Amino acid sequence: MSCEIDIAGLVKRFGGNTVLNGIDLCLKPGERVAVIGPSGTGKSTLLRCLNFLDPPDEGRITIGDLSVDAARAGKADMLALRRRTGFVFQNYALFANKTARDNIMEGLTTVRNWPKPKAEERAREILQQIGLGDRGDSYPSALSGGQQQRVGIGRAMALDAELMLFDEPTSALDPEWVGEVLDLIRRIADGRQTMLIVTHEMQFAREIADRIVFMEGGRIVEQGPPAQIFGNARDERTRAFLRRVG
């Protein structure tokens, strides 16, 4: 099976600090890949580079038939990548002055240029799917953390993106809300949505991922099926990390 998502030679620098140092990664259609590793090793930056929230300095990003050279990318390339990716932020990133329904509509009207009635119909469908069909008129301040993150996930779902990016989707949640968010991500995964998930929830990564990628120091150190990584990691850096978090 060929790659649907192909990341080649991705480099990102912040000043003199190289945060991503030549990342190569291929995702097959419908594959769920979880990225784990120590804090500050570039995991979230990797996701943000894939839709140019943080423009990479070098490398090539290919999603389906779209291929973008980071060094030459213009605004049209960035917009094209964003149309093919859905991003779920760790801190929800909802517009406080917009209702749950309007937050879900936002990407459809601004990125996809859908007319408002069509976007509103799609947002209502998504609200039902994420279990918030009766909260469309609610503002983020009136929603629990788990509900806000479900709206954030719904906003990404609405785009029907080829790749969904989850940046530690439970890290900002109180423990009581983690389960409902993980359950929603599992339901999306069951539909064979291609996913790249940065997570510190090791049990969740083990359950949901087809493949685990361990990063350290801006590089991919090791990758493989969950049983291999969690049960018989080859690299001592991977084993040491898992002992610390285990």
What residues pair up with 216 in beta bridges, in sequence order? 219
Which pTM value belongs to this model?
0.93
Closest CA to 13 of 58, 77, 62: 58
Q: How many angstroms separate the CA atoms of 54 and 89, rounded?
A: 14
Note every long-range contact of 12-16, with CB atoms under 8 Å and residues 24 or more positions apart, other chains counting: 12/42, 12/45, 12/49, 12/54, 12/56, 12/57, 13/57
Q: How confident is the model at residue 190 (pLDDT cuts 50, 70, 90)?
A: confident
Two tokens, residue 141 = 């301040």
Q: How many angstroms separate the CA atoms of 179 and 185, rounded?
A: 10
Q: How confident is the model at residue 1 (pLDDT cuts 50, 70, 90)?
A: low
**Matching residue, tokens 């719904």:** 154
- 98-152: pLDDT as tens digits: 999 999 999 999 988 999 999 999 999 999 999 999 999 999 999 999 999 999 9
The domains located in the chain, with CATH, are 5-245 (3.40.50.300)
- 27-80: pLDDT as tens digits: 999 999 999 999 999 999 999 999 999 999 999 999 999 999 999 999 999 989
Strands annotated E in 15-153: 17-27, 32-36, 58-63, 66-69, 85-88
